[in-house]
Amino acid sequence: MARDAKLPARTVSLEGTANAARTALRKFRDPKKAAFFPKFFKAGPGEYAEGDRFLGISVPQTREVAKRFRDLPLPELKRLLHSPIHEERLLALIVLTDQYKRAVHDPRERERIFKFYCAQRRRVNNWDLVDVSAHLIVGAHLEGQDTALLDRLAKSRGLWDRRIAMLATFHGIRRGQYDDALRIAEALVHDEHDLIHKAVGWMLREIGKRDLLPLEAFLRRHARTMPRTMLRYAIEKFPEDQRQRYLRGEGF
């Protein structure tokens, strides 16, 4: 099917099943992208997303399908989350985050969605799936509450749990609240996985875009020993001369 296929102009569908959503997604499948995506998302033998399968559908196209299926019930979303197809899991998470956002005046519904997400989080099993959902559900739900869950996730042996812990703090960062992000960054600063290095560095950079003081304090403690990728991400927006000093280990 041509990549420019268009869905009917409507925002809510009467279709309420995972199978209907799958059919809608497949109208956008692109064999060339499907062949490329396993390399991009590291789905080869021995890689972190080994065995993940792809239809070759872009995120904007997936979001377009999600508009039609924004009211899928949780059992149908669970079916999509348990699919081996990456884009089906992404679709489920886009719908779930939209449902959480729309339940702004329904705390019971938000609690139900949050618990569902936590129970299904092992199906949030690639970096883009974490990044599209963790801050919008976990981070948003924990605002003003005990955030010890983030500490537990940061200690998990599961790569995606640890990335969820770090990315969930983006919700607070956007609101000028940095304590959780800095605490989780401290817990993960010597993590062995490159995807955690990138996540921590990214969140540190987001803090620095809003307030340089806490970022610089963190760097004074850790710049000499933190993974190089994490450091590069964290200082990406610094003036070039200052960035080079950090990379040389000078002037802390």
Distance from first CA to last CA of the chain, Å, rounded? 55
Confidence of residue 189 (pLDDT cuts 50, 70, 90): very high
pLDDT for the residue 251? 61
pLDDT for the residue 252? 66
Amino acid making up residue 163: R
Beta strands in 21-68 (DSSP E): none
- For 63, other C-beta atoms within 10 Å of its C-beta total 15
133-252 is classed CATH 1.25.10.90: yes
Rounded (10°) angle between helices 159-168 and 179-188:
150
Statement: residue 76 has pLDDT above 90: yes
- With 0.85 as the threshold, say if the pTM is over it: yes
Token duo for residue 187:
């817990």
What is the tens place of the pLDDT at every residue in 231-249?
999 999 999 999 999 998 8
Strand partners for 53: 85
Q: Is the dihedral of CA 18, 129, 51, 153 positive or negative?
A: negative
Taken as a whole, the chain contains a residue count of: 252
Strand partners for 85: 53
What is the tens place of the pLDDT at every residue in 122-131?
999 999 999 9
- Are 171 and 180 spatial neighbours (Cβ–Cβ below 8 Å)? no
Amino acid making up residue 101: K
- Are 162 and 191 spatial neighbours (Cβ–Cβ below 8 Å)? yes
Cα gap 207→219, rounded to integer Å: 12
Token duo for residue 218:
């963190």
Cite the DSSP H helix spans in 58-193.
Answer: 59-68, 74-81, 86-102, 107-119, 127-131, 134, 140-141, 148-154, 159-168, 170-173, 179-188
Domain boundaries, the chain: 1-125, 133-252
